[in-house]
Structure formats: structure tokens, C-alpha cells
Structure 1
Amino acid sequence: MRLSPFIRENSQAIIAEWENFARSLVPAADGMTPLSLRNHISYILDFIANDIDTAQTDTEQTDKSRGKKPKTGMDSVAEIHAALRQAGGFNLDQMVSEYRALRASVTKLWGAQDFEPTRQSIVDLVRFNEAIDQATTESISYYSKKVEHSRDLFLAVLGHDLRNPIGAMMMSAELIAKIESLTERQKMFIAQVSLSGARAIGIIDQLVDVTRARLGSGMKVIREQMDMAFVCRQLVQEMRSLHPSRTFVIKSSGDTIGSWDRPRIGQVFSNLLGNAVQYGFTELPIDITVSGETDAVSLAIHNQGVPIPNDKIVGIFEAMVRGGAEGSGTTNLGLGLYITKEIVAAHGGSIKVSSSEKDGTTFTALFPRSIDAAAVGGDIVQSADNRPNR
């Protein structure tokens, strides 16, 4: 029997074989009814059987084997299946594994038949695999689009629905602060509202950056000619205003002019300086060094403080990881170093950290001076001298 009529006549057995596998995809499949698990599988089998029987040119065969068969105007059964699986909580790996299981179910049952392989059966098997590849590609593409749409909705909520009411709250606090009859205690409370609102906006900005980086959009950079040392002095001055009791020492050398994203570079300085302030000994200075090299400019921020534990250094640049001492009482979400890493990588640069009780902690970021210099791509480097920090 040829493969296409075999699929049509044995669809229930094939689906039952496949369903046993689908049920193992917990927790996504946990509690789903047989009908939910089987949705569109019979339609996919019909598509495959019809595709095997359809004549095609060599070019069409090549395109289909690469998952590039031209689309019709309507959503395919594979795309509908992807939408249902995404809505049902199946992740991408689980959905792809369904197609692997379907492929295995068909070939297992067909191969169990008592027949001698012929040239036609080999052609049918090739056509079957091409159809599975095409359906898998369509499902992956559609699933990815659904995830991207969900991401855009999430960013819209953060960027608009939360930012606007927080902005209104901060504006109200500023207006109330202008009332002359307020007591000192009332002024303190209003100032706290403004400060908390500003912090909430900062957290939203961080989460938006992290979401874009982790869901595939990447950290966008808009390059312009700028002086790294000048931006350094600006950010250090702001940090001095926030922490007047701390000492900051700036050293710059060489040509520090290049093509970078000024606001993003400001984020790097702000995150690394804030990190040094938070974990450095208060009575010792924080040293900032900007050095112009041949094709790049390096930034090093050093502080003396308790070294980072060895078990923290490996994931120091990951999101939601904090390297400070336990019980420090900080409400830091642990996003600063992750965002810093993404900004540096987006510029084609590298970042590393070294820390020890003797030498203190130093974060060093290297930024290629131009797009051409960064074309080779950047990487993230983590190093430790004796014991690492933060």
C-alpha cells in the first residue's frame, strides 16, 4: 500500500500513537481532553496525504524540503495548530516535538506492514518528510509571530498603561509640594512619593530593556560621534550630587572620541557607578578610568569592598542576579549588570569583572571606536582574580 492511502485508512491508529506522546508534554498537556490534544492533527494528516499525491516540480520539491513552499492567503492547518498550542501553554520545543512524534508514529506503523520497499515507497517517504518539514516550519514561524505579538502587548502595557498613571502621580506630588502651608513632615512624605515614582519609572525602563533583549529584539543602539570621557564626567557629577559623602576619582588618557549611543553609554556608567557605590566601602574612593586605545576605548570602574563570592561570579551578568552580601536590605531587582552587558554587546564590545580582597573589584568594558571596528562582534567575558565580586 502506498503511504498516502495508508495514512488516510489508519489515521485513528496514527493519532492514538501520537496522542500517547502528546500526553507526556506536561504541564501543558495536563488536564487536556483527548479532543484538545488531537486538535488539527487529523487535518495535518490529510494535508500530508494530499501533498504526497500532488505533482510537483524539482524546484517546488527543493523549496518545500527547505520549508519555503509558497503560502496561500489563508492560514494553513499547521499555523492554526501553532496558534492553539501557543494559547494552550505549549512551548516551542514541545510543539516541534509533536511533529517529531507524528513523523515517528507514521513511519513506525507503515514500516510494520508486510511489503517489499519499492522506488515508489521511497519517493512517498521523501514526500512525507518534506510535508512534515513544511508543516513544522509554518508552525514555528506562526508560533514565533504570536510570541512577538504578546511581547509587543507586554511592552505597550509597561510603556503606556503603567508609565502614564505613575507620571500623573509624580506631577500631582510636585504640585502639592508647592503648597506653602505644608509642614516639614508633609513635605518629606511628598518628596518620598516623587522619589518612589521616579524609581518606578526606572524599573519600568529596565524591564522594557530586559524584555526586548531576552525576547529577541536586542538592545537597539543609535550611534553618534561623542567623547566617552566627557560623558563620564557628566555621570560622575550626577553621582556626586546623589552621594555627596562619596569620593570619585576620574582619570582619562588617549583619544576617547568614537561612535556610540550616548544615552546607552550613560546607562552603562550609571549602572556601574551605582554598583560601586552600593557595594564599595564608604570611606574609600571609587576610581573611574577612561582610556583611548587604537581601535577602542576602555572604561574601568574600581572600588574597594567585600569581594563577590565565587559562586556568584559565573552568572554575574545575568538578569535577576544580585551579587551583594545577603541581608543587605536592597530592593535592587538585579537588572543593572544584565542591561549593561547587553548594551556593551550591542556596541560590539566586551565586559569583564575581576575581584579580590587585595585589589578590590573592577568592572572593565571595552567599546570599539566605530561600527567597522565592532563588526567582528562582541562577547561577554567574566574573569576572577582570587575571589570575584558582585
Structure 2
Amino acid sequence: MRLAEFIEKNHGRIVDAWQQFAERLPPFDGQASTTELREHAGRMLDAVVDDMRAPPSTDRMAVPPERRDARGSGGSEHGLQRHAAGLSLIALTSEFRTLRAVVLRLWAGAGFVRSPEAFDDLVVFNESLDRITGDAVLAFTQATERDRALVMGIVAHDLRGPLQTASMAAHILAHRYPQLGEEDTTAQLRRSLARMAPMVDDLMGVAAFGLRGSMNVRPVGMDLTALAAEIVSEVAAEFPAHRFVSESRGPHVGHWDRARLGQLLSNLLRNAAAHGEPQGVIRIVLREADDRVVLSVHNRGPVIPEAELEGLFSPTARGSAAKAGPHLGLGLFIVREIARGHGGSIGVTSDAERGTVFSVVLPIDAGLQETPATNGAGDKAGHAIRLIGI
């Protein structure tokens, strides 16, 4: 008996064995009926058999799931259903692994693996199940990304209202009580609110275009030393136990995106305060080298293992030196992307003697390194970079 025929004739036995496994998955415990579980398994088996009996093609394995025909719909449907039920991706793939094991064990126990066609059937079955699994995983991950984008869009949209209200209130207070406008605290508040606006816009962009959506760097003439002083003042107010020391020889004037570099420096300083030694000194150094400016942030604390240094800039990986917190761990990833958007780079060193030093190298005239791109209206769009502003 051929394997496809064996699966059809033993449909009930296979479903029974698979169901016993599926019922132990926590998200389904007490939430899915026996009928629903059996229907899930039945549709998967039917999709595998249909795929096994489809006309052979030498390049079917090379076709990506999103470009296949209706034969993969069984896996896609299953992936969407499992996503809606709250299963994890690991649980989803475990179901397919279990289905493979159940079918092969029953077939081997029946003695059909000794037939001349057994090897061919095994190859076709595994290829078909792999394709169905790929369809399910693709549908599951796409649904997960859509949910994530929706949540981010809602959060960004709801943040805009309170942010605009706070900014308006600060503006009214400064107008109504001019003496408040001269206080450092009020000035810091208005600068912080102004810096939050593009971050919310970035969040909206991520929701619209995904985690790798394009953002723009818009360089203007500015003094990096003055910007650094503003950001240091803001962060020092947030971390009063630390001492912030700035070292710079005169102004460092160039063409950069002021809002982006403010975000870059803010992330570096907050990272140093959060992960450095308590009540330690955080040193910010600005210096020029040829046609570039080097911005360094130095702190002392636990040495970061060399194997983890490169992973610090990944949007998903976090080293053991990182402390758990309410944030997503994207700060250093954002720093790297802002530096790259300006045609620059970032590096990090960490040892017991010198502590941890993050160094950002920026061309002095980042906005003049190449002709800026233009949008549909003909306006300068700046340099496109992949950036998450959270």
C-alpha cells in the first residue's frame, strides 16, 4: 500500500494519536473542543495527501510559500487558526513534528516500509509535510506581525493626543508666565516634548511599514556641542545620582539631523546610566578627526564579554550584562541606525581598566556626502535609513 493511501485509510487512527498530543498544549487546555481538534488534524492530513498526489515538479521546493498555489491553503489555514487560538510558534511546529512521527510510526508498524516504493513515498511525504509546515509558519508569522503593527499604531495614535496637549500647555505657560520660560526645568520640559514628537512619528512609521521601514535623516547646519549640552542636562535630571562630565574643545559645527542625534545621544547616556555602576561618572567626549567628529560616551561598570559586544546593536539579541527592564532593548539598535543614516559608524570597547566606551564617528557634513533623495513633491527627503523610534 502506498503511503498516501495508507494515510487516507487510517485517518481516524492518526487523528486520535495527534489529538492526544494537541490536547496537552496549554493554550488549548479546556478551550478547544474535541471536534475542533480533530477537524484541525483532518485538514492537515488532507492537505498533505493532496500535495503528495499533485503532479511532481523539480522546482516545487524552491518556490516560496507566498507564491504557491492552492495546495498550500491547508497549512495556511491551520497557521491562522493556531494564531487566533493563542498558540506559540514553537507549539505550532511541534504539532507538525508530532504528525510526522505518528504517520511514520503507524506506517512502519504496518510493514509497508518494506515495499519497493517505500523510499519514494517517504521522500514525497516529508517534502509535502515540510511545504505545508512552511505555509502554516508563514501565515502564523504574518498574522503576528499584523497584530504587532496594529498595537503599535494604536499606541502611537493614542500618544499623539496627550503629547500635543502637554506641548500646548507648556507653550501657554511660557506665554502667560514669562518668568517660567527662563527656568531650566521649563526649558528642559519643552525640549523633551519637542523630541518626543518625531519618536511618535517613527512609531507610526513602524506600524505602517514594519520593523524595517524606511525613515529619513534630514541634515541641517547645527552645533553638536550645544546639542550635547542640552541632552546631558535632560538626562542628568533623570539620573541625579550620576555625575555627567562633558569634554569638548569649542563648537563642533556640521550638517546632521538634530532630532536624530538628540535621540542617539540620549539613548547612549541613558544606557550608560542604567547599566553602569551606581552613582558613577559618565563622561561625554567630542573631538574632531580630519573631516569627522567622534562622539564618545564612557562609563564604568560590569565588563561586557567580547562575544556579546556585536550583539548589543541587534534589535532582538540582548547580552547577559543587560538588565531586565520595561523597555524593548532597542536603544543601541536605534543608535547604530542613526549613525549609519549619517554615513557614520559606531563601535564599543569594554574592559576592566578603561570601562565601557561607545564611540560614534560622524562625517562633519553628513548632509553633503551625496545628493539627497526627493519625494514625489520634489522636496528633499534626506537619507533613507531603517530606524525604529521607540
Same fold by TM-score greater than 0.5: yes
Matches within 5 A, 1:206-221: 208=203, 217-218=211-212, 220=214
Matched, 1:31 2:30: yes
2:263 aligns with 267
1:135 aligns with 132
Cα shift at 1:365? 3.5
Matches within 5 A, 1:339-358: 339-341=334-336, 343=338, 349-354=345-350, 356=352
- Could you give the per-residue CA deviations for residues 203-223 of structure 1, whole angstroms, max 9, x where no partner exists? 9749949x88xx972475546
Unmatched 5+ stretches in structure 2: 238-242, 371-390
Larger relative contact order, structure 1 or 2 (CA cutoff 8 Å, min sep 6): 2
Cα shift at 1:268? 1.7
**Whole-Å separation in 2 of the counterparts to 1:50 and 1:333:** 43
1:52 aligns with 52
Which deviates further from its counterpart, 166-175 or 313-322? 313-322
CA RMSD of aligned residues (A): 5.2
Contact 1:48 1:132 in 2 (8 A): yes
1:250 aligns with 248
Matched, 1:62 2:56: no
2:40 aligns with 40
- Taking a change above 3 Å as real, the CA distance of residues 117 and 73 of structure 1, as seen in their structure-2 partners, is closer
Matched, 1:80 2:77: yes
Aligned length: 347
Cα shift at 1:85? 0.7
Amino acid corresponding to residue 298 of structure 2 in structure 1:
H
Amino acid corresponding to residue 109 of structure 1 in structure 2:
L
**Whole-Å separation in 2 of the counterparts to 1:348 and 1:96:** 41
Matches within 5 A, 1:77-226: 77-115=74-112, 117-172=114-169, 174-175=171-172, 178-179=175-176, 198=193, 201=196, 205=200, 208=203, 217-218=211-212, 220=214, 222=216
- Could you give the per-residue CA deviations for residues 264-310 of structure 1, whole angstroms, max 9, x where no partner exists? 3442223234556787999978341345479x86432235xxx3135
After TM superposition, the score normalised by the length of structure 2 is: 0.66
Amino acid corresponding to residue 249 of structure 1 in structure 2:
E
Matched, 1:308 2:301: yes
- Taking a change above 3 Å as real, the CA distance of residues 202 and 67 of structure 1, as seen in their structure-2 partners, is closer
Cα shift at 1:342? 5.5
After TM superposition, the score normalised by the length of structure 1 is: 0.66
239, 250, 256: which is aligned to 2:231? 239
Provide the secondary structure at the position in 2 that maps to 1:249.
strand
Identity %: 26
Cα shift at 1:87? 1.4
Provide the secondary structure at the position in 2 that maps to 1:28.
helix
- Could you give the per-residue CA deviations for residues 298-354 of structure 1, whole angstroms, max 9, x where no partner exists? 432235xxx313589969777799979x9xxx9999764454356457778443143
1:20 aligns with 20
Cα shift at 1:63? 1.3
**Whole-Å separation in 2 of the counterparts to 1:30 and 1:141:** 25
Contact 2:302 2:321 in 1 (8 A): no
Contact 1:290 1:297 in 2 (8 A): yes
- Taking a change above 3 Å as real, the CA distance of residues 364 and 102 of structure 1, as seen in their structure-2 partners, is same
Contact 2:282 2:297 in 1 (8 A): no
Which deviates further from its counterpart, 11-20 or 311-320? 311-320
Cα shift at 1:76? 1.2
Matches within 5 A, 1:267-346: 267-273=263-269, 286-292=283-289, 298-302=294-298, 307-310=300-303, 336-337=331-332, 339-341=334-336, 343=338
**Whole-Å separation in 2 of the counterparts to 1:204 and 1:14:** 52
Contact 2:44 2:74 in 1 (8 A): yes
Matched, 1:364 2:362: no
Contact 2:75 2:132 in 1 (8 A): yes
